[in-house]
Amino acid sequence: MSTTSLRRRLVAASVLALLAAPAMADEPPATAATPPLQLEWNARLRHEQVDDDAFRRDANADTLRLRLGLRANFGSGWSGFLEGAGTASANEHYNSGANGQTQYPGVTDPHGTELNQAWVNWQGDSFGAKVGRQEILLDNQRWVGNVGWRQFEQTYDAVSMQWKPASAWTVRYDWLDRVNRVAGPDATSVLARHRLLNTHLLNVAWTHGLQQLTGYAYLHKDKDVDTASTATYGVRWTGKPTPDGGFSWALEGARQYDYANNPQSFSHSYWLVEPAWTQWGVTGKLGWEHLGGDGHTALQTPLATLHAFNGWDDQFTVTPVDGLQDYYAALNGTFGRQGWASRLGWIVSYHDYYADRGSSHYGDEWNASLTFPLVPGLTGLLKVANYQADHFSRDDTKVWLQLEWQGVQAL
């Protein structure tokens, strides 16, 4: 059976199961906490402005995204989910990757529609399996995530399995057949729409108190882009001594090699050192993230939620061939400990970027955001990123103003 045929059957099986499942007989009724059928929605209205010195014109993108999903709980551990997504744009004053407006800076939020998720899941006491188009989020999403910041998210046609052999252990395996990318189904480049894969992800986590130690092996074969195929092996350790504030940490180290159909030969290192301290409701972090490069190739994380790393201006979604050293500091908290002020969240961070190979200073960046609830289910966001280039790219400033409404309704 061809990979394309298998992928289609995975999605088709998910849809058919969703349609057929209500006819199942002799199933125990769902509890009040898990209604047999529920409607889920997420609507996001966003204005994004980009002032990039590489372009004569600023980009102004006004988009509205709606995700609408139907979740079914069939009983006996079975469930399913069917979700569509659509994005509308009020103008074409930006390069969406699909509209051909290359005279503007890029904002990867094209208008269009797509099948976002369609899966069937079975969950037992210690083992579960999910088949179909789905979100996959591993650890902090540095290696595999859903890129939830963009209007079209990143999903996978995949088989996912999770096993808990003991209370402290979690073993997860995912096989990815295709990645559906955030540029949407109508992107000018076919490779920006989706990639055919044969990727194996193994993630094993051990939890002890407030600490977690995770080991992983990610064997990523990209059938469409040979040079993107890599094997990554690593360990991540997170924790804190006490549950109430004080010191915490995240430490991670990994090694990435060429893999499968990749014609190149390389070996790159990755590490993250991130101590943090929480006091009076404010958390401060210091960080050092290293992505190795040798002048010809560099460590890459193509399935990651990249917007969450190396600054919100997204200058380093592809690691430069000389690698990347990101030294950063961040503060986050709320404006109070109780009442309305306790729900107003803020973040301020600073990044200083250097090459791994040589001593070139790429540039530096400030980020800031404010989140504010309006009514139950409706949240506002104001967000700014300012990148000042030295020896990489051009000066760039981005501003976002966003409203997001989400909810669930039992049917």
Check whether 117 has a pLDDT greater than 80: yes
pLDDT single digits (tens) 55-86? 999 999 999 999 999 999 999 999 999 999 99
Residue 204 and residue 214 in contact, taking contact as beta carbons nearer than 8 Å: yes
Which pLDDT band, with edges at 50, 70 and 90, does 27 fall under?
Answer: very low
Which pLDDT band, with edges at 50, 70 and 90, does 244 fall under?
Answer: confident
The residues with which 187 forms a beta bridge, in sequence order, are none
Which pLDDT band, with edges at 50, 70 and 90, does 380 fall under?
Answer: very high
> Residue 11: what pLDDT?
40
Q: Residue 234 class from Cβ within 10 Å (0-12 exposed, 13-18 middle, 19+ buried)?
A: buried
Q: Where are the domains of the chain?
A: 3-410
pLDDT single digits (tens) 159-178? 999 999 999 999 999 999 99
> Residue 29: what pLDDT?
44
Check whether 345 has a pLDDT greater than 60: yes
Alpha carbon distance 81, 119 (integer Å) = 5
* CATH architecture label of 3-410: Beta Barrel (2.40)
Check whether 332 has a pLDDT greater than 60: yes
Which pLDDT band, with edges at 50, 70 and 90, does 402 fall under?
Answer: very high
Which pLDDT band, with edges at 50, 70 and 90, does 341 fall under?
Answer: confident
Q: Which two tokens stand for residue 304?
A: 């990651």
**Most confident option among 6-10, 122-126, 337-341:** 122-126
> Residue 324: what pLDDT?
98
Average pLDDT, the chain: 92
> Residue 376: what pLDDT?
94
Which pLDDT band, with edges at 50, 70 and 90, does 89 fall under?
Answer: very high
Least confident of 8-17, 183-192, 353-362: 8-17
Check whether 16 has a pLDDT greater than 50: no
Check whether 114 has a pLDDT greater than 90: yes
Least confident of 193-197, 285-289, 292-296, 340-344: 340-344
Residue among 143, 131, 146, 36 at smallest CA distance from 85: 146
Find the mean pLDDT for residues 243-263.
96
pLDDT single digits (tens) 174-214? 999 999 999 999 999 999 999 999 999 999 999 999 999 99
Residue 47 and residue 408 in contact, taking contact as beta carbons nearer than 8 Å: no
Residue appearing with tokens 């096993």: 163
Check whether 6 has a pLDDT greater than 70: no
Residue 123 and residue 77 in contact, taking contact as beta carbons nearer than 8 Å: yes
> Residue 359: what pLDDT?
84
pLDDT > 90 in the chain, percent? 88
pLDDT > 70 in the chain, percent? 92
Residue among 173, 158, 177, 268 at smallest CA distance from 223: 177
Alpha carbon distance 108, 104 (integer Å) = 12
Alpha carbon distance 223, 244 (integer Å) = 47
Alpha carbon distance 262, 239 (integer Å) = 36
Which pLDDT band, with edges at 50, 70 and 90, does 350 fall under?
Answer: very high
The 3 state secondary structure assigned to the chain is CCHHHHHHHHHHHHHHHHHHHHHCCCCCCCCCCCCCEEEEEEEEEEEEEEEECCCCCCEEEEEEEEEEEEEEEEECCEEEEEEEEEEEECCCCCECCCCCCCCCCECCCCCEEEEEEEEEEEECCCEEEEEEEECCCCCCCCCCCCCCCCCCCCEEEEEEEEEEEECCEEEEEEEEEEEECCCCCCCCCHHHHEEEEEEEEEEEEEEECCEEEEEEEEEECECCCHHHCEEEEEEEEEECCCCCCEEEEEEEEEEEEECCCCCCCCEEEEEEEEEEEEECCEEEEEEEEEECECCCCECCCCCCCHHHCCCCCCCCCCCCCCCEEEEEEEEEEECCCCCHHHHCEEEEEEEEEECCCCCCEEEEEEEEEEEEEEECCEEEEEEEEEEEECCCCCCEEEEEEEEEEEEEEEC
Check whether 343 has a pLDDT greater than 50: yes
pLDDT single digits (tens) 212-224? 999 999 999 999 9
Alpha carbon distance 405, 376 (integer Å) = 9
Residue among 183, 57, 79 at smallest CA distance from 134: 79
